[in-house]
Amino acid sequence: MGGCFSVSVSCDNVVNQVCQYLCLKGSYIHNLSQNLATLQKAMGLLKAKRDDVQGRVGREEFTAHRRRLAQVQVWLNSILTMENQYNELLNTSDVELQRLCLCRLCSKSMKLSCRYGKKVILMLREVESLISQGEFDVVTDAAPIAEGEELPVQSTVVGQETMLEMVWNRLMEDEVGVVGLYGMGGVGKTTLLTQINNRLSNKTGGFDVVIWVVVSQNATAHKIQGSIGEKLGVGGKEWDEKSDVERSHDIHKVLQRKKFVLFLDDIWEKVNLSTIGVPYPSRETGSKVAFTTRSQDVCGRMEVDDPIEVCCLDTDKAWDLFKKKVGENTLGSHPDIPELARKVAGKCRGLPLALNVIGETMARKRSVQEWRRAVDVLTSSATEFSGVEDEILPVLKYSYDNLDGEMTKSCFLYCSLYPEDGLIDKEESIEYWIGEGFIDEKGGRERAMNQGYEILGTLVRACLLLQDDKKESKVKMHDVVREMAMWIASDLGKHKERCIVQADTGIREIPEVKNWKDVRRISLMKNDIETISGSLECPELTTLFLRKNELVEISDGFFQSMPKLLVLDLSGNNLSGFRMDMCSLVSLKYLNLSWTKISEWTRSLERLDGISELSSLRTLKLLHSKVRLDISLMKELHLLQHIEYISLSISPRTLVGEKLFYDPRIGRCIQQLSIEDPGQESVKVIVLPALEGLCEKILWNKSLTSPCFSNLTNVRISNCDGLKDLTWLLFAPNLVADSVQLEDIISKEKAASVLENNIVPFRKLEVLHFVKLPELKSIYWNSLPFQRLRRLRLSNGCRKLRKLPLNSKSVVDVEKFVIKYDDEEWLERVEWEDEATKLRFLPLCTTRSMIF
């Protein structure tokens, strides 16, 4: 028989365990409604405790500048997680309660109901645990603000040491709260401000906190607040979710009790400090704000009256920076390299960005051939040089992109047609813009010109053009900015033949172009081209500059394939005659034939038959050409329905013998008039009619009587030896005279009747320049206020002039006034009105030469 195996189990134990299990499961179901209510109550208590703790933390963080404890943050994070889980559980509670049956003692799905009921019980326990953990005696600890963060930068600022000290001194002045640095892109503004930041970060200046914020384009108040909050230690997810107004209050609470420095780098529009929450700096708080920008307008909007311009380096300092980048080993590797390196550095025109990039590119190039190649490339096509198109031009392009409107952008790009290093005449450039159609002339020429000057001001304040130091009427474009403009005009280098620009490069013939049909603008001004043969098929050409060449001949038919040509400038050439193909130039709006072939006082271009066929013409310049205004030309001009501006020459015999100005519309258009006498005619006195539009009058060898010219702003008088006085110029703002017999500028006897109406002469006069006037004795018999006078110059002999029309109150802006004279003995003979007048003006007298 086999063995037996028996197991004895207590029946009571089994029954008990089964009952306990069933009771637990049953409680998940039949107590579900009660458990949910208990959980909801516990959750409400937990949220209340959380709100109390968060309130304490917030008050201590933003009023006492303390930092929340890590355990508090962990507890708050746990509640956030629990709250999300609770909301998910609560969303299905109605469904779970509806599943119950038999007076909620059973369920239609025991498995699902038990699982849900268990989740409720477990969550209730966790909530109760969190409630018990939320008893904190301390919720924050001391968190001192970092005094500042040192930023990476070169240890020395090569070439900008003086500028660095000037910025530092300005920032440290007690009366200065906000400092603005402006300048073109790549000039070193950020480098300077970084150096200042690093000085202060090393506890110099006694500031509690130093904050650096990179603003850049399209920055928002929210973004700037975020950067400041991070530096102040108040950042975090919860703070990020606050509104801008709440964040502003938080920042203000911290900074109002601190002596701070806020650096805002690269701002493109006004940063409203109050909106951000930054207390406005004052002498009492000692706080400071400093910013960099490319726009003078932004400086004005930031209420900085005297911003600091960061300029390009001078030649010596630029060379020092370039040498540092290239390295002595490379410079010493061949005796010819230093001279070539100076030429390469010179192409950067003192712009630190270009000096750095090009210097680094050349640092390992130790063959003289590579350096010669660098000079050639930078001269002929700088965009092909390594680093220029990738690292330099895109940085400068931000300024172009920030210009407001396509009109301003188009006007800026047009300025690149001028020669490298060349001066840009303001009025001339605006006339070109009008001709091209960038500026609408429908509202009148004066309105269009004013808009043009506004655009020029915008470009200067954006540091894309530079005001010339010597001539208010001129601006210029930095060579690297010019490269950027030509790069943009060529669609970032994709269509390089769209604009052909070889101005002042010494070429002797029209350059070769693969596809003339794609060319939009041609600038070949200031070269040595003598003849132009054949014709160019340029159906898209709108501007052609051939001025100031040596042109003597242009072949017939040259202009016949230029139907869209708008602007044509042939001035300053030796043209002896050519056919204009006027029927082909139906779109032409601007034509300049001034100063064509000058030999003593003879001109070669004599007739413009058929000029009336230029039906779209608005501006016609014929000054100092051999073309003279006569009845025949007047009839042609009368047919030009859109003409707005005319400058030309006229013979005095024509004025005496013929009545030319029968058309008042053309009379208004004549704004520049030269009365010339190449034949030494005997007419000594001529009378001009009242030309309402006349702005400049030029006389050669003539005396003149004239009615009032209300718009006359410029008069030039040369070789008019019969003139005794210029009383008729009572209202001329600018005066240039050259007449050896001139005795009085304003004759008291002749002016008596004019001055009975209390008219004050020369109210708008800015410049008085007298040349070769040995008989000049008087400018005016009494002192005059001269509200706008800036310069008085006496050149080449005005020995008899003893009394100046000045007293101790003359010249409003005396700080900018200067008296220039050539004869050192003249100053000793001057008879001043009184001692006060002498003390006011004697220090302003100088013999140093100056360009006017």
Least confident of 27-41, 627-641, 708-722: 708-722
Residues 176 and 78 in one domain: no
What pLDDT was estimated at residue 317? 94
Which of 614, 642, 670 terminates a domain? The answer is 642
CA-based angle 759:764:766, to the nearest 5? 140
Q: What is the share, in percent, of the chain residues with pLDDT greater than 70?
A: 77
Residues 172 and 103 in one domain: no
pTM of the shown model: 0.74
What pLDDT was estimated at residue 278? 96
pLDDT of 295 over the 90 cut? yes
Residues 131 and 218 in one domain: no
What pLDDT was estimated at residue 791? 86
pLDDT of 752 over the 80 cut? no
Residues 302 and 184 in one domain: yes
What pLDDT was estimated at residue 420? 93
Backbone angles phi, psi at 770, to 5 degrees: -110, 125
Residues 501 and 592 in one domain: yes
What pLDDT was estimated at residue 14? 40
Q: Which residues contact 380 (CB under 8 A, 6 or more apart)?
A: none
Instruction: Return the structure tokens found at 48.
Output: 């209340």
**Residue 184 included in any domain:** yes
pLDDT of 850 over the 50 cut? no
Residues 131 and 216 in one domain: no
Confidence of residue 16 (pLDDT cuts 50, 70, 90): very low
Residues 178 and 274 in one domain: yes
As a whole number, mean pLDDT of residues 547-569 equals: 91
Q: Are 645 and 620 in contact (CB under 8 A)?
A: yes
**Residue 347 included in any domain:** no
pLDDT of 102 over the 70 cut? no
Least confident of 345-359, 499-513, 683-697, 774-788: 683-697
Residues 113 and 240 in one domain: no
pLDDT of 463 over the 80 cut? yes
**Residue 581 included in any domain:** yes
Residues 129 and 65 in one domain: yes
Mean pLDDT, all residues of the chain: 82
DSSP state of 794: E
**By residue range, what is the domain housing residue 300?**
160-309
What pLDDT was estimated at residue 193? 94
What is the distance between the alpha carbons of residues 198 and 709, in angstroms, rounded to a whole number? 62
What pLDDT was estimated at residue 712? 55
Beta strands in 17-81 (DSSP E): 66-68
Instruction: Give the position of tokens 């000793």.
Output: 828
As a whole number, mean pLDDT of residues 548-556 equals: 89
pLDDT of 403 over the 60 cut? yes
What pLDDT was estimated at residue 34? 80
pLDDT of 600 over the 80 cut? no
pLDDT of 37 over the 90 cut? no
As a whole number, mean pLDDT of residues 185-196 equals: 93
Beta strands in 380-467 (DSSP E): 423-425, 466-467
Higher-pLDDT residue of 763, 23: 763
Which of 623, 642, 661 terminates a domain? The answer is 642
**Residue 804 included in any domain:** yes
Confidence of residue 23 (pLDDT cuts 50, 70, 90): very low
- Work out whether strand 818-821 and strand 845-846 pair parallel, antiparallel, or are unpaired: parallel
Residues 630 and 719 in one domain: no
Q: Are 706 and 699 in contact (CB under 8 A)?
A: no
Higher-pLDDT residue of 593, 681: 593
Secondary structure of 670-683 as H, E, C letters:
EEEEEECCCCCCCC
Confidence of residue 653 (pLDDT cuts 50, 70, 90): low
As a whole number, mean pLDDT of residues 823-836 equals: 87
DSSP state of 744: B
Instruction: Return the structure tokens found at 333.
Output: 């590797």
Which of 13-27, 32-46, 175-189 ranks highest by mean pLDDT? 175-189
What is the distance between the alpha carbons of residues 409 and 397, in angstroms, rounded to a whole number? 11
What is the distance between the alpha carbons of residues 214 and 291, in angstroms, rounded to a whole number? 10
- Tell me the CATH number at 514: 3.80.10.10
Residues 192 and 78 in one domain: no
Residues 39 and 105 in one domain: yes
As a whole number, mean pLDDT of residues 135-148 equals: 70
**Residue 677 included in any domain:** no
Least confident of 4-18, 531-545, 652-666: 4-18
Confidence of residue 118 (pLDDT cuts 50, 70, 90): confident
| H or E stretch at 178 | strand 178-182
What pLDDT was estimated at residue 189? 95
Which of 11-20, 51-60, 290-299 ranks highest by mean pLDDT? 290-299
What pLDDT was estimated at residue 6? 46
What pLDDT was estimated at residue 696? 58
Confidence of residue 377 (pLDDT cuts 50, 70, 90): very high
What pLDDT was estimated at residue 1? 44
What pLDDT was estimated at residue 30? 67
Q: Which residues contact 38 (CB under 8 A, 6 or more apart)?
A: 124
Q: Which residues contact 542 (CB under 8 A, 6 or more apart)?
A: 436, 520, 521, 564, 565, 566, 567
What pLDDT was estimated at residue 157? 67
Q: Are 614 and 640 in contact (CB under 8 A)?
A: yes
Backbone angles phi, psi at 24, to 5 degrees: -65, -50
As a whole number, mean pLDDT of residues 787-805 equals: 83
What pLDDT was estimated at residue 715? 63
pLDDT in tens, 710-726: 555 566 665 555 556 66
Task: Domain count for the chain, please give it.
Answer: 4
Instruction: Return the structure tokens found at 800.
Output: 């008899």
**Residue 701 included in any domain:** no
What is the distance between the alpha carbons of residues 439 and 429, in angstroms, rounded to a whole number? 11
What is the distance between the alpha carbons of residues 809 and 792, in angstroms, rounded to a whole number? 16
Confidence of residue 348 (pLDDT cuts 50, 70, 90): very high
Which of 72-81, 143-152, 489-498 ranks highest by mean pLDDT? 489-498
Q: Are 225 and 248 in contact (CB under 8 A)?
A: yes
Confidence of residue 153 (pLDDT cuts 50, 70, 90): low
Confidence of residue 140 (pLDDT cuts 50, 70, 90): confident
Confidence of residue 657 (pLDDT cuts 50, 70, 90): very low
What pLDDT was estimated at residue 28? 65
DSSP state of 745: S
- Tell me the CATH number at 288: 3.40.50.300
**Residue 372 included in any domain:** no
What pLDDT was estimated at residue 603? 37
Q: Are 683 and 656 in contact (CB under 8 A)?
A: yes
Least confident of 480-484, 534-538, 654-658: 654-658
**Residue 359 included in any domain:** no
What pLDDT was estimated at residue 693? 60
